[in-house]
């Protein structure tokens, strides 16, 4: 069965928007700052946001008729 699930990008956009609002207010971040992985900063949250934004771009590329699985022009590290 072949299915098109590219509409999930809308859900990811909503999640990123909600995250941005929480991050702007620094909501719920104090508890994370007390833990060892986040003692030096909250960079992992920023990295995760970047990954989700890349995923959104990939899904949006997949919606185009000329998409052949090659993806976007995102550079891989």
C-beta of residue 58 within 8 angstroms of C-beta of residue 71:
yes
DSSP 29-65: HHHHHTSGGGTT-SHHHHHHHHHHHHHHHHHHHHTST
Give residue 36's pLDDT. 87
Among candidates 67, 51, 66, 70, which has minimal Cα distance to 12? 51
Q: Give 46-72 pLDDT, tens digit per residue.
A: 999 999 999 999 988 888 888 776 555
Instruction: Give me the pLDDT at residue 46, please.
Output: 93
pLDDT in tens, 7-51: 899 999 999 999 999 999 999 998 988 888 888 888 999 999 999
pTM assigned to the model: 0.76
Describe the chain by its helix, strand, coil percentages, rounded to 5: 60, 0, 40
**Residue 12 near residue 54 (C-beta atoms within 8 A):** no
Residue 76 pLDDT > 60: no
């Amino acid at each position: 069965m072949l299915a098109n699930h590219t509409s999930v990008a809308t859900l990811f956009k909503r999640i990123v928007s909600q995250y941005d609002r929480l991050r702007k207010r620094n909501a719920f971040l104090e508890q994370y700052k007390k833990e060892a992985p986040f003692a030096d900063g909250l960079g992992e949250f920023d990295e995760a946001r970047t990954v989700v934004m890349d995923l959104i771009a990939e899904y949006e590329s997949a919606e185009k008729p000329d998409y052949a699985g090659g993806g976007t022009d995102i550079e891989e590290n």
